[in-house]
Amino acid sequence: MMTTRSDLGFERLLSAIAQDLIDASEEEILTTVNEFGLRPGMKGSVALFGVTFALRRYIHKPSAFRTGKSSINVGTTRGRRRPKGDTPSST
């Protein structure tokens, strides 16, 4: 009986599924997303929430993978203090 270490087996599974996702046709991805009720091409669609837009508090929080002052500010580090009354930029 084969006993697979849990983390190794899990990573193997994730890699296999990820490769399937990479290889899947664009049509299959879009069809499945549409079946779920999302319309990625429509204005205001939440399909790309977290990808191209997010809640403001998530845009300006420090990246979980970057710490310290050496982080390059490319949109995932803490934002500048906003003057009172300044309207936020669109997300």
Partner 1 sequence: MKTSIKLTKLPVDIERISTLPARRALDAGLVTEADLLRLKVIARLYARGLPSHISWSDLLQEAFTRMLEGSRKQPAGVPMVAFLAGVMRSIKEQYWRQYRKGARQRLKSLANIGIIELQDEELTDPAPSPERQLIAIEQMAMINGLFEEDLPARQVIAALYDGLTPEETCSTYAMSTTDYDSTRKRIRRAIIRAGMRFEP
Does position 65 bind partner 1 by CB under 8 A?
A: yes
Does position 39 bind partner 1 by CB under 8 A?
A: no
CB of 74 to partner 1, least distance (A): 5
Does position 1 bind partner 1 by CB under 8 A?
A: no
Task: Assess contact for 40 and 33: CB atoms under 8 A.
Answer: yes
Does position 68 bind partner 1 by CB under 8 A?
A: no
- 3-state DSSP call for residue 3? coil
Which residue, 12 or 69, has its beta carbon nearer to partner 1? 12
